[in-house]
Structure 1
Amino acid sequence: MSGFVPVFDIGDTLVPSRKFASHVIEDELRQRNHKVVHDFDPDKFMMYDPSQIEQYLEKYDIDGDPRELAHGCRKRYLEAFEDLMMENGVFDLFAKCNREFGTVGIISDNSVEAKNLMKKLLDEHEVDYDTIVVSEEVGVEKPSPEIFKAFTEKRERPPGEFVYIGNDAEVDSGALDAGMKYIWVTQFDTVNSSFEGPEIDELEFEKLREVISNLE
């Protein structure tokens, strides 16, 4: 094993999550013969939350049942997530990282349901992982150092042995305050964030290995 052990965010760190989320809700509206507004923001109107779907419908004066729409969007997103992971080579990336650096982990501002889905997919694809921490479970979100500390405490290893890999530098760089390294991923949506430090424009193993090898 060499270098630092990679710990990944989910979402747009790994797959074009926000773009797909926007496509899903627009398509669900279209199928229900509702007006489609092309500026759906997953950060403001999370497609799996009926109360926020309701805000979206009210904002643009769109008729529709927010609970029905939320259920349809959530079902489609979860069904498609495995395909997105496969298309973007995530399972293969994790497996290579496991062999090169040690068993990968995950820290995400996300739900327990999303955690269980990720565990299920990794198990089905026979990809090892060690510890998945989500904000719903620990009660804090990034950039709080506490969510990163919750991870390292479960791993029972010092934070300086890990590198966090995420797309939203504004919150993901909170890993630095917890004593971890951080690499900014710019392949998909970066939520208009910026970072003066190690970055990677494509989450491909050889590129990632090179960036990790240059960390101090």
Structure 2
Amino acid sequence: MIKAVLFDLDGTLLDRDESVKLVIADQYSRHHHVLSHIPKDTYTTRFIELDAHGYVWKDKVYQQLVQEFQIEKMTWEGFLEDYLTHFKHSCVPFPNLIQMLKTLKSESLQLGMITNGKGQFQMDNIVALGIKDYFDTILISEWEGIKKPDAKIFRRALEQLEVSPEESVFVGDHPENDVNAAKRAGMQCIWKKDSSWSGANADAVIEDLIELPLLVKAAEGGKR
């Protein structure tokens, strides 16, 4: 019997690509006096390229931007602090996020989250999405001292939920850090399809979060 569903955050519950576009466009507008020599589209496009879907931390991104665009009136540290402060105001959920979580909770399933990233930054984003209270445990790599794809962080979450790998399903968008890592930890895994990747070795695939509750039932033979 499936007793718990665990999730990744970025690219799975949080539409990070859209969120980044919003926060960087907002940053450009608020600091136009500093960035006016750079076209808005050029600034946002270059940020997204350097960010590499979040796998390059923003200190490196802003150092590169300041150098490339010869920005003189604001430091990269200032841009980074601005990003960290304002990102939570631009968080975009994937469609049907709250409805999906409510449905899973109504089925008496425990919910967990495992996300890589900076602790308070990620927690602020989780709160901004309005989903924190749906989760029985939330593990963020900086605070845990372990990050995906290390199987230890998956096992730690399962221990906190007091469920076995066989009683749990993991949902994520990254073929290695989410899908393969969760499978190595002994869990069933559902891939939240992401066009950035050609595919993933998952037990099932979803394109919309609303599909998830039925797949969880299917994973346990439709019985609860």
Name the residue aligned to 1:213. Answer: 217
Q: Distance in 2 between matches of 1:55 and 1:95?
A: 42
Higher relative contact order (CA 8 A, sep 6+): 2
In the superposition, the TM-score normalised over structure 1's length comes to 0.80
Judge conservation of contact 2:4–2:163 (CA < 8 Å) in 1. Answer: no
Aligned pair in 2 of structure 1 residues 190, 110: CA closer, same or farther (>3 Å)?
Answer: farther
Q: Which residue matches 1:111?
A: 118
Which residue of structure 2 lines up, in the alignment, with residue 28 of structure 1?
27
Aligned residue-pair number: 204
Q: Which amino acid aligns with 2:137?
A: T
Residue 171 of structure 2 is matched in structure 1 by: 165
Task: Work out whether residues 13 and 97 of structure 2, in 8 Å CA contact, stay in contact via their aligned partners in 1.
Answer: yes
Q: In the alignment, what sits opposite 1:150?
A: 156
Q: Which one is further off, 151-160 or 21-30?
A: 21-30
Check conservation: 1:4, 1:162, Cα contact below 8 A: yes
Cα distance in 2, alignment partners of residues 150 and 126 from structure 1: 19
Match of 1:184 in 2: 191
The yes-or-no answer on 1:68 pairing with 2:78 is yes
Change (3 A) 1:140 1:55: farther
SS for the counterpart of 1:12 is: coil
Q: Which residue of 1 aligns with 2:65?
A: 56
Q: Which has the larger radius of gyration?
A: 2
Cα distance in structure 2, aligned partners of 1:139 and 1:62 = 36
Once residues 191 and 95 of structure 1 are traced to their aligned partners in structure 2, the CA distance between those partners, rounded to angstroms, is 28
Q: Does 1:136 align with 2:136?
A: no
% of aligned pairs identical? Answer: 21
Whichever residue aligns with residue 106 of structure 1, its letter is: M
Unpaired stretches in structure 1, ≥5 consecutive residues = none
> Where does the alignment leave 5 or more consecutive residues of structure 2 unmatched?
none
Please state if 1:79 is matched with 2:89.
yes
2: CA distance between counterparts of 1:8 and 1:161? 14
CA distance in 2, matches of 1:115, 1:24: 15
Secondary structure at the counterpart of residue 143 of structure 1? coil
Quick one: distance in 1 between partners of 2:6 and 2:176?
17
- Alpha-carbon displacement from aligned partner over 1:156-210 (angstroms, at most 9, x marks no partner): 2212111110111121010111111110001xx4542521331101111xx2122
- 1:104 aligned counterpart, secondary structure: strand
TM-score of the aligned structures, taking structure 2 as reference length: 0.78
Q: How many angstroms apart in 2 are the aligned matches of 1:8 and 1:144?
A: 15
CA distance in 1, matches of 2:158, 2:189: 14
